[in-house]
Structure formats: structure tokens, C-alpha cells
């Protein structure tokens, strides 16, 4: 007797250990890779709508660019821009304010609110990450 275990017990332990490893290593990676590769659920029958908070300026992102492409602003006054990218049929995966060092991702179907404070008067450019779509604030 003592510390010795039978062949049957040893085999049982090996099987249990393998089952644990499978459940721990393989199963989660299967489920998580499945959910990671799947985009956020979007009901094809429901058009996404913008959710611009009160006081914000809604900026739609269409196939041709930002709409409106020119927005009035006041120097030194904080403002909220609500960027709404209804779908992925444009390249604006992100919006960039180069002069302010601001960069925000724009997931399709969502409204992303960007808080900015233009500091000096004149045009303040915003653009897509590839500098193809452009808009600007007219800061007075
Ligand atoms: Cu682009």
C-alpha cells in the first residue's frame, strides 16, 4: 500500500488532467476567437441613428465626407462634435484634429463625441486618418 497507486488510478488521473487542460486551454480559445472575429451585432433591418447629446454639433460622415464640412466655432470656447458614421461605406475609421493632437476611432453605426477647445482664430482642420476626407472649424 502506501504511496503506490494502481495503473487504473494513474490512467484516471491522466485523463482528468487532460480534460482540465482541454477545458482550460482549448475551449476558451475557441469561444473567444469566435466572438472576437464577430463584429458588434448590427440588425440589418434597423438603420443606426445618431445620438448627439444636447449642445453638440452633429457631423455626419457620408460617402463623400464630413457633413457639414465647415462648422462655426469660437476661440477659447469648449465644444462637442458628435461624429456619426452610419456605416462602413467610407474610409473614416477615425477622425483626427492634427493641430490639437486629437485622434478618435469612429466605429460604424455609432456616434462618437469629441470634446475640443479651439484656441486660436482661423481654420482648424479635421480629417480622416488617411487625410482623404476633410472638414474644418471656422474659429472666430
Ligand atoms: Cu480616409
pLDDT at 4 over 50: yes
- With cell 456619426, the residue in question is 84
Tell me the pLDDT tens digit for each residue of 73-93.
999 999 999 999 999 999 999
Residues contacting residue 68 through CB under 8 Å, at least 6 positions apart: 59, 135
Q: How far is the CA of 72 from the centre of ligand 1 (A)?
A: 23
- Please spell the DSSP secondary structure of the chain, one letter per residue: -TT---HHHHHHHHHHHHHHHIIIIIHHHHHHHHHHHSPPP--TTS-----PPTTPEEEEE-SS-EESSEEEE-TT--EEEEEEE-SSSSS-SEEEETTTTEEEE--TTEEEEEEE---SSEEEEEEETTS-SEEEEEE-
pTM: 0.68
Q: How far is the CA of 46 from the centre of ligand 1 (A)?
A: 26
Q: How far is the CA of 17 from the centre of ligand 1 (A)?
A: 51
Q: How confident is the model at residue 123 (pLDDT cuts 50, 70, 90)?
A: very high
Q: How far is the CA of 93 from the centre of ligand 1 (A)?
A: 7
Tell me the pLDDT tens digit for each residue of 5-63.
566 665 554 444 444 343 444 444 444 444 445 555 555 667 899 999 999 999 999 98
Amino acid at each position: 500500500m502506501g504511496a503506490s497507486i494502481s495503473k487504473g488510478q494513474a490512467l484516471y488521473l491522466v485523463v482528468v488532467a487532460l480534460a482540465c487542460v482541454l477545458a482550460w486551454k482549448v475551449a476558451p480559445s475557441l469561444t473567444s476567437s469566435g466572438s472576437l472575429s464577430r463584429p458588434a451585432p448590427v440588425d440589418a433591418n434597423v438603420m443606426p441613428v445618431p445620438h448627439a447629446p444636447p449642445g453638440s454639433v452633429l457631423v455626419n460622415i457620408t460617402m463623400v465626407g464630413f457633413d457639414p464640412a465647415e462648422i462655426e466655432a469660437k476661440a477659447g470656447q469648449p465644444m462637442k462634435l458628435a461624429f456619426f458614421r452610419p456605416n462602413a461605406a467610407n474610409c473614416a475609421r477615425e477622425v483626427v484634429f492634427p493641430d490639437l493632437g486629437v485622434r478618435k476611432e469612429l466605429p460604424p453605426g455609432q456616434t462618437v463625441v469629441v470634446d475640443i477647445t479651439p484656441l486660436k482664430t482661423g481654420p482648424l482642420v479635421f480629417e480622416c486618418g488617411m487625410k482623404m476626407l476633410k472638414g474644418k472649424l471656422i474659429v472666430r
